[in-house]
Structure 1
Amino acid sequence: MSTDMTTLGDTGLLDTLQHQVAVFARRAEQTRLGGVGQVRNSMDRAAYLLLNRLDREGPMGVKALAASMGIDSSTVTRQVAPLVDTGLVKRTSHPEDGRAVVLQLSPRGLSRLEEVRSSRRRLMAELTHDWTPEERRDFCGLLTRFNGALSALQTTHTGPGSPSQPAS
């Protein structure tokens, strides 16, 4: 028996869904959904996700950051280097083990992150200006669920920390 989970009645709907996801991915990449105003597209996706993770989870080592994002440590090291160079992230000694290095969002990094978040928030408000609060909540819930399923599928197929696994 095939592992195809579609039924005859689902085919059209699933075709529409896969097409809309492909269109979304293309448009998101083209516009980078970077926000509005002067801040628009001023921070790439990898930098935004790294800064956001450090803000939400606090200081951590490269391995912990890589594991929490589901990407390889070498990828984190490569992506964090320009953030350190520009002063958005600081390298500090681990409080319990002075030999270990911890990455931490700098005050400048937090300020830039807040600027970008605000710009992206305004873009989301603009894109959904005619949606009800319930529609925004529903879309957010479904998109979160969809991203979770993608992440789980990626982990199943490549294993955690695989270089081919996208940052979340």
Structure 2
Amino acid sequence: MTSSENDALLDAVGPAFSKLRRGVLMEVENPVSAKDMSRSLVLAIVQEGEREMTVGAVAERLGVDPSVGSRMVSDCISAGYLSRAASQQDGRRTVLHLTSEGEAMMTRFRRLQREAFEYITADWSERERLEFARLMLKYVDAVAGLRHRGPAS
């Protein structure tokens, strides 16, 4: 490929990610509702949290106002997916935990994500699927590492 073709390819990555973010799981064979997509974002943050997760921490990770984060967490609590508990490190704080229903919801959601990936890539070779999966995980790990590197200059 030429340099300009490489540039065009790299320039297309950002818009492609934007398209993915707009709801690919709502457009596949077994679509996920917008409500469940929203809930799964909150539950994943709590499930993957490296520390005790508070409502504020969830809002921060989602990049939303604390009031929006609070409404999203409250919805998950009302649905039975999350519970609040006193922090073991600071009894004045309230932390979030997945309930057994929340764990089951995430298990179902992870299964749907895999099914969506397989549906979307049905005409790809096994080698292409595995290479894309490997590179996507590498990319996500690099993004997670940005928290430790600080802002770009």
Higher helix share: 2
Q: Same fold (TM over 0.5)?
A: yes
List alignment gaps of at least 5 residues for structure 2.
none
- Contact 2:46–2:53 at 8 Å: present in 1 too? no
List alignment gaps of at least 5 residues for structure 1.
1-8, 158-168
* Counterpart mapping for 1:77-88 below 5 A: 77-88=70-81
What is the TM-score when the length of structure 1 is the normalising length?
0.64
Partner of 2:54 in structure 1? 62
Distance 1:19 1:62 in 2: 36
Does 1:156 find its partner at 2:151?
yes
* Count of residue pairs the alignment pairs up: 148
* Counterpart mapping for 1:98-137 below 5 A: 98-137=91-130
Q: CA RMSD in A?
A: 3.7
Does 1:90 find its partner at 2:88?
no
Partner of 2:45 in structure 1? 53
What is the TM-score when the length of structure 2 is the normalising length?
0.69
Distance 2:30 2:98 in 1: 24
Deviations 1:9-45 (A, max 9, x none): 422222133235424532551x43246426455522x
Partner of 1:163 in structure 2? none
